[in-house]
Structure 1
């Protein structure tokens, strides 16, 4: 049981950090490390047992892992084709397809390096494989914790409900993606109103170059058409990005009530990254997500993860540099071994 102590310790630290501040990417990494340590301890326990069942379980895990990679690759490839067919060939819509091709390329490189066994190819494969494992680990941490974050209830009351804009169709029409945010905001508002005084709902979004009016105005019109009281809506109509959505909405809330509390509403794939941004801006509130079309979710999740990698670029650059050094070491060891 001592082998499970690191996993238990990491999980304990994870729980404490979540209770203190759930809007941290470090929480996702801690949870991933706890699960990884638990799996390592279990594998070690199986390896130490001389029973045939232990070997069967170990090889079954390897087989399931390989099958999972194959299924994931096929799923991403098919999802990428579906995204192109439904949403067009813009770069942001090709992420699922590119991810599937990247997985195939890494597998092909590793197999080639194993067969050919040249020093240079060994070093390159070690570097690429290490970076692939690192990014895959972070991605799994992100997906699992984002799923968990979206299911943690907001138990405090709130003075404001902030709805983040996402663009209009035809210059003036609220699209289904944005409509789902507004419907979730109405549900959150109704729940908070039952606890006490009704909060103010802030629609946040400026006017894009291809839009006939600011997103916040179209969002407010959509809500009033659904019967929502117009006197409980405030419009933030200057923002063009998520960061500006949050910054300008924060200014409105702080001006009216410096000790405000809020709930921010976006789509479920975007909720965790919006929460990280809100924490960086010291906004007092959590983020909740609304449903997203199933075909759109994988590509959007990859895009959100890529944005988080960029926001932590220096940490990731340092880790990748270490992995490159590991690849150089593998090349050097192989060169001396064959020389």
Structure 2
């Protein structure tokens, strides 16, 4: 049994590496890593309890206990408290816009879920409602597993390190304050500038493409403001280009690809820079636009990360909405059918 489990774990690792090295821009990589991790933990537990080595048993039991604690009622409550505290800090440091209230909304939702688990709503429902209750719980589990796969894929993508052989660096816009580059956008430009100078020491310098249109409350396009920022930092004008028609990340990639194709044809290397929380989703848009570009991310303030990741996950779900509608619709449809059958049978 131990040998079979070890072989299965090793095969899962090979599949993970093959998928990630082929293309790190896959949500599938998160699922494959989580599968490998669970198999590896199971292998270690089986190995530990097949021997008399106490330290090995402790090493394997501790992560399992942490995992069980994190998904328990206590873990759910601790997450709620953390999200409420984060929402308070975020709204104090940033603005009270809806986009900055996502961690607060999630905290309220989890608190309600926490209370429902304590109350055990099931005991107040008629027996024939059990399938519908179970289906609702199954949907929550489905999105929890999907979120786990997304977070793992996101973390794995952070280890991506492009080579210093790029022809272009696409800098993605994120909005201006009038005509000024705000700190969030500046961090993206600085990341590109840092890569530019590092590559310049070992190869030909890349061309920086600043991508972003002009918003209704902005005095000039994001691309123009970003270019000016980079020129002030010492980047030569001939090593910059601007793309000022895009209004979202997909258009950033699409229009930038058109510019690169017009300069180099189809044979070139390119990367993009954005904030690390936006990195994985941006890579999916790059793939959708037909670019082989990988990304590098600039650091984001720790307090901003939870709210930003919630927004990223919502956007990822929206990108795959047809798939999720099918899954959720199937679960609800079967649950409703079983509920009707239960009602019919119980009232015979």
Q: Name whichever of 203-212 and 142-151 sits farther off.
A: 142-151
Which residue number corresponds to residue 232 of structure 1? 239
* Residue 102 of structure 1: how far off its partner (Å): 1.7
- C-alpha deviations, 1:297-334, integer Å up to 9, x for none? 11111111111111111222222234335644775797
Which residue number corresponds to residue 13 of structure 1? 15
* Residue 266 of structure 1: how far off its partner (Å): 0.4
Unaligned runs of 5+ in 1: none
Q: Distance in 2 between matches of 1:45 and 1:314?
A: 42
Residues 106 and 270 of structure 1: is their aligned pair in 2 closer, same or farther, counting only changes over 3 Å?
same
Q: Name whichever of 74-83 and 319-328 sits farther off.
A: 319-328
Q: Distance in 1 between matches of 2:218 and 2:331?
A: 46
TM-score norm. by structure 1 comes to 0.87
2:325 matches 1:317: yes
Residues 291 and 138 of structure 1: is their aligned pair in 2 closer, same or farther, counting only changes over 3 Å?
same
Which residue number corresponds to residue 138 of structure 2? 130
TM-score norm. by structure 2 comes to 0.85
* Residue 229 of structure 1: how far off its partner (Å): 1.6
2:297 matches 1:289: yes
Q: Name whichever of 149-158 and 80-89 sits farther off.
A: 80-89
* Residue 167 of structure 1: how far off its partner (Å): 0.4
Which residue number corresponds to residue 76 of structure 2? 69
1:109 corresponds to which of 116, 123, 127? 116
Whether the 8 Å contact between 1:163 and 1:266 is mirrored in structure 2 is: yes
Residues 7 and 108 of structure 1: is their aligned pair in 2 closer, same or farther, counting only changes over 3 Å?
farther
Q: Distance in 1 between matches of 2:135 and 2:44?
A: 27
Which residue number corresponds to residue 89 of structure 2? 82
Matches within 5 A, 1:248-327: 248-258=255-265, 259-325=267-333, 327=335
Residues 275 and 65 of structure 1: is their aligned pair in 2 closer, same or farther, counting only changes over 3 Å?
same
Q: Name whichever of 140-149 and 26-35 sits farther off.
A: 26-35
Q: Distance in 2 between matches of 1:277 and 1:96?
A: 25
Which residue number corresponds to residue 30 of structure 1? 32
Whether the 8 Å contact between 1:202 and 1:233 is mirrored in structure 2 is: yes
Please tell me the root mean square deviation across aligned C-alpha atoms, in Å: 3.0
**Aligned pair count?**
334
SS at match of 2:316: helix
2:128 matches 1:148: no
Whether the 8 Å contact between 2:270 and 2:293 is mirrored in structure 1 is: yes
* Residue 261 of structure 1: how far off its partner (Å): 0.9
Residues 13 and 190 of structure 1: is their aligned pair in 2 closer, same or farther, counting only changes over 3 Å?
same
Q: Distance in 2 between matches of 1:103 and 1:334?
A: 30
Q: Distance in 2 between matches of 1:284 and 1:154?
A: 11
Q: Distance in 2 between matches of 1:91 and 1:33?
A: 36
Q: Name whichever of 253-262 and 277-286 sits farther off.
A: 277-286
SS at match of 2:165: coil
Q: Distance in 1 between matches of 2:128 and 2:92?
A: 40
SS at match of 1:206: coil
2:214 corresponds to which of 207, 212, 215? 207
Whether the 8 Å contact between 2:164 and 2:202 is mirrored in structure 1 is: no
Whether the 8 Å contact between 2:30 and 2:152 is mirrored in structure 1 is: yes
* Residue 70 of structure 1: how far off its partner (Å): 2.4
Residues 318 and 31 of structure 1: is their aligned pair in 2 closer, same or farther, counting only changes over 3 Å?
farther
Q: Distance in 2 between matches of 1:309 and 1:188?
A: 32
* Residue 81 of structure 1: how far off its partner (Å): 2.6
SS at match of 2:302: coil
Which residue number corresponds to residue 182 of structure 1? 189
Whether the 8 Å contact between 1:32 and 1:137 is mirrored in structure 2 is: no
Whether the 8 Å contact between 1:28 and 1:142 is mirrored in structure 2 is: yes
* Residue 37 of structure 1: how far off its partner (Å): 4.4
